[in-house]
């Protein structure tokens, strides 16, 4: 029978029936999605970690590569003074990262735990609060940084020779602070929402844009270090735009809505402490970079190497180590929502297995990369196109000495993040401070007066080795506790062997 009637808005009865059917079907499918078991609690851990970690690893590698490419183009287009300017600006970037991780890592860990507990509304509020907090903090950093730019850069180790270039680079980086902060926080929540590939894609799109714009801005337009900074900011803005669209249109569990942009003090009080360890890591890095920059300039000038050469070479060594760490951080980021969800869901067996897989992968890769860098340092340094023999000689020595005990860095990264992801902020904060604040900074102050520039280099392996031992001790105790929890869980869950593991 054909229905020919129309409604008050001129809509045919067939159209009304069709829309009604679509609405009921959409509601039914949404109910199925909400009641279906979350794969983070059921899918085999090895496969799940691979699915979450691989996009994060690719994303972090591309991100680290485009930072390294920045240095390559700056070195070839401006020279070692340009690389020195980027090294002095590094603490400014780290200040931005510290606030971004305080909010972003905390909200990410909080949201994963709440989703594991089945409290979706808390996660929705956390997403809205993240937008408000990250955007506001980024604008504040930008305003304060530009207002006090020159004294800040001098405090971070700028020399009369590189101050002008450093100010050009840092000013544009500060203008992009809101985008930088939002890109970090939103990528965490996209992964928590179960879309690690989208997080990877949005970050990779930004990274590839940066790599494409670098030669255009630096060489074709002749913008020098300003061009490198502008390319970075535009890349971050693109990533933020993509992830904002995701939460407006495609979010699986988390959706961005206006009412959740209003700050919720209960969410903030619970979420932000979970990001303290990540923030402390970055704040420690600011202090460390400041002390190191001044030490390199002071003892470099007195050793015949030259302060700007020492500063530039160490900047490249640290960028190289960050490339190795990017894989470990990618594994860590992939493991974070799995750890948080299963901690909230009361599955200690999956928590332990996730940590062991993640720590094993990160440690193996970091050790292999460390060995390659120590065997072929000239090949790495040669990428930067700096032919000064003093630079090359010091760069080789810097890379081999400073990174001599870097092989355990992957284990440290995953272990520290484990405590943050499982809601243990005090331990995570202590371990975050261990290498940089408790060991490396004091060694940078104590050794150089006796050993000169070599003392700056020796501080690296000594702090790496000491922190490996302490973090290892903490994890032995934690794994024993997890083992007891797993045994109790299996005793109280007779069907445990049939659940995802």
Q: What is the pLDDT of residue 9?
A: 40
Distance between CA atoms of residues 369 and 405, nearest Å: 12
Evaluate whether 211 touches 151 at the Cβ level (below 8 Å): no
Distance between CA atoms of residues 432 and 246, nearest Å: 32
pLDDT in tens, the chain (501 residues): 333 443 434 444 444 434 444 444 444 344 434 445 567 777 888 888 888 888 778 777 776 776 677 777 887 777 777 777 887 888 888 889 888 888 888 888 888 888 878 888 888 898 889 899 999 999 999 999 999 999 999 988 888 888 889 999 999 999 999 999 999 889 889 988 888 789 878 888 888 898 889 889 988 888 988 998 999 999 999 999 999 999 998 888 888 888 888 888 888 888 888 887 677 777 777 888 889 889 998 999 888 888 888 888 898 888 888 888 888 888 888 888 888 888 888 888 888 999 999 999 999 999 999 999 899 888 888 777 656 788 888 889 999 999 999 999 999 989 988 887 887 778 887 887 888 888 999 999 999 999 999 999 999 999 999 999 999 999 999 999 988 988 888 888 766 555 555
Distance between CA atoms of residues 436 and 288, nearest Å: 6
In angstroms, how far is CA 493 from the centroid of its own chain?
37
Q: Where are the domains positioned within the chain? A: 44-489
- For residue 12, what are the β-bridge partners? 6
Q: What is the pLDDT of residue 63?
A: 67
């Amino acid at each position: 029978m054909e229905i020919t009637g129309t409604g008050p808005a001129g809509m045919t009865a067939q159209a009304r029936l069709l829309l009604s059917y679509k609405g009921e079907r959409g509601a039914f499918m949404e109910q199925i999605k909400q009641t279906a078991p979350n794969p983070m609690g059921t899918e085999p851990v090895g496969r799940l970690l691979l699915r979450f970690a691989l996009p994060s690893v690719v994303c972090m590698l591309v991100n680290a590569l485009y930072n390294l490419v920045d240095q390559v183009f700056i070195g070839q287009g401006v020279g070692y003074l340009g690389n020195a300017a980027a090294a002095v600006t590094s603490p400014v970037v780290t200040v931005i990262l510290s606030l971004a991780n305080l909010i972003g890592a905390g909200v990410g860990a909080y949201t994963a735990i709440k989703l594991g507990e089945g409290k979706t509304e808390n996660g929705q509020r956390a997403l809205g609060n993240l937008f408000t907090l990250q955007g506001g903090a980024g604008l504040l950093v930008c305003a304060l940084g530009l207002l006090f730019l020159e004294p800040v850069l001098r405090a971070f180790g700028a020399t009369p020779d590189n101050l002008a270039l450093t100010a050009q680079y840092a000013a544009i980086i500060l203008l992009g602070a809101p985008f930088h902060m939002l890109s970090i926080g939103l990528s965490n929540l996209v992964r928590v929402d179960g879309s690690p590939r989208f997080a990877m894609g949005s970050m990779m799109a930004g990274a590839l844009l940066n790599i494409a714009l670098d030669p255009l801005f630096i060489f074709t337009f002749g913008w020098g270090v300003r061009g490198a900074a502008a390319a970075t900011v535009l890349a971050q803005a693109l990533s933020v735009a993509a992830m904002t669209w995701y939460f407006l249109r495609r979010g699986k569990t988390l959706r961005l809505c206006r009412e959740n942009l209003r700050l919720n003090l209960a969410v903030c009080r619970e979420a932000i402490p979970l990001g303290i360890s990540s923030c402390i890591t970055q704040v420690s890095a600011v202090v460390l970079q400041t002390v190191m920059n001044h030490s390199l300039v002071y003892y470099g000038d007195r050793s015949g190497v030259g302060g700007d050469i020492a500063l530039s070479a160490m900047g490249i060594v640290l960028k190289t180590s960050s490339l190795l760490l990017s894989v470990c951080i990618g594994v860590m980021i992939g493991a974070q929502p799995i750890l948080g969800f299963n901690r909230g869901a009361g599955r200690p067996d999956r928590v332990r297995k996730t940590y062991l897989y993640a720590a094993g992968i990160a440690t193996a890769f970091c050790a292999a990369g460390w060995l390659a860098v120590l065997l072929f340092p000239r090949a790495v340094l040669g990428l930067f196109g700096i032919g000064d023999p003093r630079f090359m000689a010091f760069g080789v020595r810097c890379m081999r000495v400073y990174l001599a005990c870097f092989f355990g860095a992957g284990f440290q990264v995953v272990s520290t993040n484990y405590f943050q992801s499982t809601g243990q902020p005090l331990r995570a904060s202590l371990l975050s401070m261990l290498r940089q604040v408790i060991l490396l900074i004091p060694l940078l102050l104590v050794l150089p007066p006796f050993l000169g520039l070599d003392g700056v280099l020796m501080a690296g392996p000594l702090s790496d080795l000491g922190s490996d031992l302490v973090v290892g001790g903490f994890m032995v105790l934690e794994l024993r506790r997890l083992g007891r929890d797993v045994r109790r869980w299996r005793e109280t869950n007779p069907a445990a062997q049939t659940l995802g593991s």
